[in-house]
């Protein structure tokens, strides 16, 4: 249901007949079908630049703490004015009390940015900020690397495991330390083609192709599935918090052309 809604929403926003981009009220009505969105500013802290220095590769991070007595089931990153607003969705295999993510995104133009956390009892919490851009129109900008070369390494992944030192605030860093959290970063070789880019030789549009899902397993058990979009940057880096006891991280990437690749890494000493 969500993917069908996203596809319809993308087509609507991309249509030249649309005089204006939809507001957050419009987007939330389509995505959440009238469900109440509660103020999540006490539970969600977004870390994003005031103005991007590279529209095609902008780091967006957030620390989400579940309200007392609740657990997180899903977290969504929404770039309201991007052609595909729902830019990354993290769905957890088991409920989590807290979660941190850090992803590299394309920011197509100045946009409100929302992070929505859904708890396992169905409550929705939202926090927002605004990101200004340099006007590059990142989603339609030509690929930054030779496409033939990029396709040769498409799907290759490098996993980095370390301490979670980059939570949004000092308090969160101390909380992460107290809970012995680690940080996992996955570097993915992928051109992340938006479908809006033009081949500079043929002047034809390059077909859309991006990371559709990234499944992350910890010690052989499911942890989170991230659903991607054309908002992911070229060669995206996807970072997240994981429990400190984690010994092995396995990652499976599936893109919209059906390419599936795997990578695995163990903490040094295991």
Beta bridge partners of 64: 44, 99
Per-residue confidence (pLDDT) for residue 140, from 0 to 100: 87
**67 contacts 122 by C-beta, under 8 angstroms:** no
What is the model's pTM?
0.87
Task: Centre a 10 Å sphere on the Cβ of residue 179 and count the other Cβ atoms it contains.
Answer: 13
pLDDT in tens, 97-137: 999 999 999 999 999 999 999 999 999 999 999 999 987 67
Q: Under CATH, which number does the domain 2-266 receive?
A: 2.60.40.2470
**From residue 233, how far is each of 54, 66, 105, 188 by CA, in Å?**
11, 28, 5, 10
Give residues with Cβ within 8 angstroms of 87, minimum separation 6. Answer: 77, 78, 79, 105, 228, 229, 231, 232
- Is the pLDDT at 7 greater than 70? The verdict is no
**From residue 148, how far is each of 11, 200, 230, 241, 257 by CA, in Å?**
28, 14, 19, 34, 16
- Is the pLDDT at 61 greater than 50? The verdict is yes
User: Distance between CA 210 and CA 238 in Å, rounded?
Assistant: 14
Mean pLDDT of 26-52: 95
Per-residue confidence (pLDDT) for residue 172, from 0 to 100: 52
Mean pLDDT of 27-32: 94
Q: Crossing angle of helices 24-32/2-14, nearest 10°? A: 150
Q: What is the mean pLDDT of the chain?
A: 87
User: Distance between CA 101 and CA 225 in Å, rounded?
Assistant: 13
Task: Centre a 10 Å sphere on the Cβ of residue 76 and count the other Cβ atoms it contains.
Answer: 22
Mean pLDDT of 76-105: 97
- Is the pLDDT at 43 greater than 90? The verdict is yes
pLDDT in tens, 161-216: 986 544 445 445 545 544 578 999 999 999 999 999 888 778 789 899 999 999 99
Per-residue confidence (pLDDT) for residue 269, from 0 to 100: 59
């Amino acid at each position: 249901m969500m993917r069908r809604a996203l596809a319809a929403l993308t087509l609507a926003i991309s249509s030249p007949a649309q005089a204006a981009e939809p507001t957050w009220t419009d987007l939330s009505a389509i995505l959440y079908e009238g469900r109440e969105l509660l103020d999540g500013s006490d539970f969600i802290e977004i870390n994003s630049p005031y103005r991007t220095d590279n529209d095609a590769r902008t780091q967006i991070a957030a620390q989400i703490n579940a309200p007392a007595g609740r657990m997180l089931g899903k977290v969504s990153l929404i770039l309201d004015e991007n052609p595909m607003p729902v830019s990354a969705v993290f769905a957890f295999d088991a409920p989590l009390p807290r979660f941190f993510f850090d992803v590299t995104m394309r920011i197509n133009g100045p946009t409100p940015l929302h992070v929505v956390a859904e708890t396992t009892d169905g409550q929705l919490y939202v926090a927002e900020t605004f990101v200004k851009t340099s006007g590059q129109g990142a989603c339609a900008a030509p690929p930054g690397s030779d496409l033939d070369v990029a396709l040769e390494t498409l799907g290759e992944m490098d996993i980095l495991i370390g301490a979670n030192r980059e939570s949004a605030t000092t308090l969160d860093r101390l909380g992460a330390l107290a809970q012995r959290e680690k940080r996992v970063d996955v570097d993915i070789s992928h051109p992340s083609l938006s479908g809006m880019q033009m081949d500079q030789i043929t002047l034809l549009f390059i077909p859309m192709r991006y990371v559709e899902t990234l499944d992350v397993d910890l010690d052989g058990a499911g942890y989170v599935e991230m659903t991607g979009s054309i908002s992911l940057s070229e060669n995206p880096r996807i970072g997240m918090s994981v429990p400190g006891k984690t010994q092995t991280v396995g990652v499976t990437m599936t893109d919209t052309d059906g390419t599936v690749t795997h990578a695995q890494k163990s903490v040094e000493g295991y």
